């Protein structure tokens, strides 16, 4: 659901979504240079707000590079450690399919 909302956004080269709190997603994104950073950040927030329950808060920032995990892997979506507090469980309880 999250990646499907973000993939069609023009100007978005790469992104990382971190669920920082039960109701807060933070998106770090790399622009491809075809769109102004503020406009791209607004598009990201708008796309996710349209795909997620209205109780979810969304923040977006445009960055130069994304933090990589062990073995230089990029984890695109990082949920909260406890499954019951994840975005998927919130979407299901709000009537949205994960």
Query: 48-75 pLDDT, tens per residue?
Result: 999 999 999 999 999 999 977 666 666 6
Kindly state whether residue 92 falls inside one of the protein's structural domains. Answer: no
Residue 95 within any structural domain of the chain = no
Q: What is the pTM of this model?
A: 0.76
CATH number of the domain to which 62 belongs? 3.30.70.1350
Domain membership of residue 46 as a residue range: 2-82
Which letter does DSSP use for residue 34 in this model? S
**Percent of the chain surpassing pLDDT 70:** 76
Which residue, chain included where needed, has tokens 């019951």? 84
Distance from chain centroid for Cα 55: 15
Mean pLDDT of the chain: 84
| List of residues 6+ apart from 92 with CB closer than 8 A | 98
Could you give the number of structural domains in the chain? 1
Q: Which residue has the higher pLDDT, 82 or 4?
A: 4
**Residue 73 in domain:** yes
Whether 98 has a pLDDT exceeding 50, the answer reads: no
> Would 7 be classed as within a structural domain?
yes
């Amino acid at each position: 659901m999250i990646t499907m909302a973000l993939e069609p956004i023009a100007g978005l080269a790469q992104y990382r979504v971190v669920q920082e709190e039960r109701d807060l997603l933070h998106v770090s994104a790399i622009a491809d240079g075809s769109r102004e950073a503020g406009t791209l950040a607004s598009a990201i927030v708008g796309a996710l707000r349209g795909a997620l329950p209205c109780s979810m808060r969304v923040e977006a920032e445009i960055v130069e590079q994304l933090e990589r995990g062990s073995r230089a892997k990029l984890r695109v979506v990082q949920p909260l450690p406890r499954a019951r507090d994840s975005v998927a469980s919130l979407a299901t309880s709000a009537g949205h399919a994960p």
